[in-house]
């Protein structure tokens, strides 16, 4: 069913949506799909894949999983065809994976899909990831900026930007967001971390420890400041948190001075923290005596 040109984006949602004409449930969703049900696109222009680069990607997938989902076209209940992501698909097979996270296009008629997406945005039961995918599709389909899309669907540009940023998260986090295992607040907090591996580690801690959004924000703030954090008996160190030679010498000096393993962290901006651990009340008293002696010698 073709959509007539008179339904222009600039006329607002009421003008865009006609309950009589939109009879489709087509849109995009993210799911774990069995690799055995996926076929490559015969029209894919790329035929050669660097075996070394493919093995490196397979090793990465085996370690932390797929970061960016592939995009599939649903052919029937048991068959999907790759639209984008054949390299990730091949590497996943090479890594011994059984499933892969994928965005699934379920609409046969792209024009009908355009209208259905706008209708779906208004539905109260859409999860945040579905909304993000809808925004992304409208931007790509019409060549819109976030500002223009904001004007035409009556949403703040910052709201649209926050939803679109969710699509930059690693695939396991996107799937959890879709399945409502975590809240959008959790996901937005994780976006402040630049390293996908760290994002996934904190995500796993959210699931295992049941962290609130506020707790995750505190953890992310600490990691962003160059501090290491303890969670569930594990130590998580931010990427690039290795101390310079100068700071390492200072840390060693403090360890010798206090007679304990002093922790020193420092961010690229020069902010950091010194932690002095103690094993007992007697050990704490010993450390306090050292600090008191420093004060007396001023």
Task: Name the helix (H) or strand (E) containing 83.
Answer: strand 79-84
* 154's tokens: 């009556």
Write the burial class of residue 193 (CB in 10 Å: 0-12 exposed, 13-18 middle, 19+ buried).
buried
Phi, psi of 212 (to 5 degrees): -75, 170
Cross-strand pairs, 266: 272
Q: Is 86 part of the annotated catalytic residue set?
A: yes
Selecting among 86, 151, 217, 218, the annotated active-site residue is 86
Instruction: Provide CB contacts within 8 A for 87, sequence distance 6+.
Output: 46, 49, 54, 57
Beta strands in the chain (DSSP E): 28-34, 38-39, 70-76, 79-84, 99-105, 229-231, 234-236, 263-266, 272-275
| 283 HSE (CA, 13 A, CB side) | 9
| Contact by Cβ (8 Å): 50, 87 | no
Distance CA 278, CA 166 (A): 41
3-state secondary structure of 194: coil
Catalytic machinery residues: 86
């Amino acid at each position: 069913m073709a959509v007539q040109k008179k339904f222009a984006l600039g006329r607002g949602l009421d003008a865009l949506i006609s309950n009589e004409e939109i009879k489709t449930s087509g849109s995009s969703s993210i799911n774990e799909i069995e690799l055995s049900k996926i076929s490559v696109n015969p029209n894919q222009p790329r035929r050669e894949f660097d075996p070394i680069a493919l093995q490196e990607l397979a090793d990465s997938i085996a370690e932390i999983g797929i970061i960016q989902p592939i995009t599939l076209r649903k052919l029937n209940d048991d068959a999907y065809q790759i639209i984008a992501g054949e390299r990730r698909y091949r590497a996943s097979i090479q890594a011994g994976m059984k499933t892969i996270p994928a965005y699934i296009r379920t609409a046969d008629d792209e024009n009908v899909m355009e209208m259905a997406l706008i209708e779906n945005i208004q539905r109260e039961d859409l999860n945040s990831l579905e909304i993000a995918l809808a925004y992304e599709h409208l931007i790509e389909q019409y060549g819109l900026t976030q500002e223009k899309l904001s004007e035409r669907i009556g949403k703040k540009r910052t709201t649209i930007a926050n939803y679109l940023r969710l699509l930059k998260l690693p695939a396991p986090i996107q799937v959890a967001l879709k399945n409502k295992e975590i809240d959008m607040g959790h996901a937005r907090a994780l976006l402040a971390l630049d390293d996908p591996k760290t994002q996934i580690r904190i995500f796993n801690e959210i699931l295992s420890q049941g962290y609130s959004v506020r707790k995750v924000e505190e953890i992310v703030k600490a990691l962003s400041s160059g501090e290491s954090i303890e969670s569930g008996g594990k130590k998580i160190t931010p990427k690039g948190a290795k101390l310079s030679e100068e700071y390492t010498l200072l840390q060693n000096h403090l360890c010798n001075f206090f007679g304990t393993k002093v922790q020193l962290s420092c961010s690229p901006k020069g902010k950091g923290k010194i932690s002095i651990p103690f094993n007992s009340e007697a050990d704490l008293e010993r450390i306090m005596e050292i600090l008191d002696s420093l004060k007396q010698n001023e």
